[in-house]
Amino acid sequence: MTELATRAQAFGLVAAGVAAGLSAPWRLYLARGCRYLSLSVGDRAEWNSWRTHLGCPELSVRVYDAGGEIRRSSVAEVVLDGCRISVELVEEIGTDDLDRLLVADPTTIEPEER
C-alpha cells in the first residue's frame, strides 16, 4: 500500500491484514474529511499483531478509573502517506495488575514476581 488517499485504500489496508490472518478489529473508524483511521481490537495478542502488521513504532499507555473499574488503554500509531493510523486496546485490569504497569514490558515478568 503506497497511498492512503481514499477510503477504499484505507479499508483495503485493513482487508489485507485480515487476509493475512489477523483478527478483524471489533471497531473500525475512518474519519470523514480527514486522514485518520482507528482500529480497536479485543486483546493484547491482536493488538501486537496489528502493530507489527502496520509497523506502528509509537506507543502510549494510559491507566484510568472508569466508575470504580481500572482500565488500561494502549494505543500505537503510525503515519502512512499522511494518513494517521492508530490501533487501540482497552483492557479492564485489577489491582493485582497494577504492579505490572510499572514494568516496561509486562510480558517479561516471571510468575514468581507477580
Residues 80-110 have pLDDT tens digits of 877 888 999 998 887 666 666 566 555 554 5
What's the pLDDT at 2?
Answer: 42
* 107: containing domain: 7-113
Long-range contacts of 45-48 (CB under 8 A, 24+ apart): 46/22, 46/89, 47/74, 47/76, 47/87, 47/88, 47/89
Q: What is the pLDDT of residues 55-72, one digit of tens each?
A: 887 788 888 777 777 888
Total number of domains in the chain? 1
**Residue 1 in domain:** no
Give the pairing type, strands 69-80 and 58-66.
antiparallel
Supply 8's cell numbers: 477504499
**Residue 100 in domain:** yes
Full-model pTM:
0.70
**Residue 106 in domain:** yes
